[in-house]
């Protein structure tokens, strides 16, 4: 069935989640962070995700901004960083995450080809709005869909239901793109055509489902959508 709708995860897929730590580490007076920013960024992201999964299982939903702060607090302690000003700076930068370099041209090509484009994310509406505006992507996306509408984090099926409700499409008409292997796999189980953007060259997650495609970045998404 022809693809009509291209949906993207936000954090790690369109937006570089390591950018906040990388930028902060480059600022004057950040010597302690400069020696560990990559590990801090990795710890932060891992705990952020783990807290969403645990809250989903425990039926203890909260705003994604809360788990983002909790993940950072754990990561800072794990890396021996006790600096309230640095914490506030990292959180500020998270609202201004950089998009990956290929993102604007890729989204523009999809729009020109007539596809509907949107984000489907664990992020809260306010966080997503800040990221989209900061990256200059407002005119390239038809919508930003947030789990706050269903009060549970991915990969619950109710999150993926939001796409069909918004765009009136069947799962087979959706190309869903995520940098999270588990998200790409779970959405494939839901019925989407899926792409795992595996920038780090990680192994495939051992799950009952596998993504339709695996790519190193987002550059060829418009060509792939046209082939499906």
pLDDT at residue 181 is higher than 70: yes
pLDDT at residue 63 is higher than 70: yes
Write down the pLDDT at residue 93: 96
Write down the pLDDT at residue 134: 93
Give start and end residues of each alpha helix (H) in 135-180. 157-167
State mean pLDDT over 171-192: 98
Write down the pLDDT at residue 150: 98
pLDDT at residue 179 is higher than 90: yes
Q: pLDDT class for 1, splitting at 50, 70, 90?
A: low
In the chain, % of residues over pLDDT 90: 99
> Quick check: is 149 catalytic?
no
Q: What region, left, alpha or beta, does residue 149 occupy, with left being phi > 0 and alpha being psi -120 to 50 degrees?
A: alpha
Which residues on neighbouring strands pair with residue 135, listed in sequence order?
none
**Class of the domain covering 5-15+98-227:** alpha beta
State mean pLDDT over 116-128: 97
pTM, rounded to two decimals: 0.96
Write down the pLDDT at residue 195: 98
Q: pLDDT class for 205, splitting at 50, 70, 90?
A: very high
Q: Where are the domains of the chain?
A: 5-15+98-227, 19-94
State mean pLDDT over 43-64: 98
Which overall architecture, per CATH, does domain 19-94 show? Orthogonal Bundle (1.10)
Q: pLDDT class for 193, splitting at 50, 70, 90?
A: very high
Which residues on neighbouring strands pair with residue 121, listed in sequence order?
146
Cβ atoms 26, 46 nearer than 8 A: no
Distance CA 33, CA 89 (A): 12
**What mean pLDDT is reported for the chain?**
97
Catalytic residue among 9, 16, 43, 183: 9
State mean pLDDT over 216-223: 98
- All residues at 6 or more sequence positions from 109 whose CB lies less than 8 Å from its CB, including other chains: 222
pLDDT at residue 110 is higher than 70: yes
């Amino acid at each position: 069935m022809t693809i009509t709708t291209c949906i993207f995860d936000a954090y790690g897929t369109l937006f570089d989640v390591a950018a906040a730590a990388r930028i902060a580490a480059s600022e004057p007076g950040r010597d302690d962070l400069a020696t560990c920013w990559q590990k801090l960024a990795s710890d932060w992201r891992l705990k952020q995700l783990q807290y969403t999964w645990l809250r989903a299982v425990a039926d203890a939903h909260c705003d994604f901004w809360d788990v983002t702060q909790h993940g950072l607090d754990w990561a800072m302690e794990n890396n021996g960083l006790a600096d309230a000003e640095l914490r506030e700076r990292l959180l500020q930068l998270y609202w201004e995450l950089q998009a990956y370099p290929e993102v604007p041209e890729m989204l523009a090509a999809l729009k020109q080809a007539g596809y509907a484009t949107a984000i489907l994310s664990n992020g809260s509406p306010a966080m997503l709005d800040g990221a989209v505006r900061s990256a200059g992507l407002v005119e390239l996306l038809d919508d930003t869909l947030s789990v706050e509408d269903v009060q549970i984090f991915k990969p619950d099926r109710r999150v993926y239901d939001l796409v069909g409700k918004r765009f009136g499409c069947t799962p087979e008409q959706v190309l869903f793109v995520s940098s999270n292997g588990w998200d790409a796999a779970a959405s494939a189980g839901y019925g989407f055509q899926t792409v795992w953007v595996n920038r780090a060259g990680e192994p495939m997650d051992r799950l009952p489902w596998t993504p339709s495609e695996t790519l190193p970045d987002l550059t060829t998404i418009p060509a792939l959508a046209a082939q499906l």
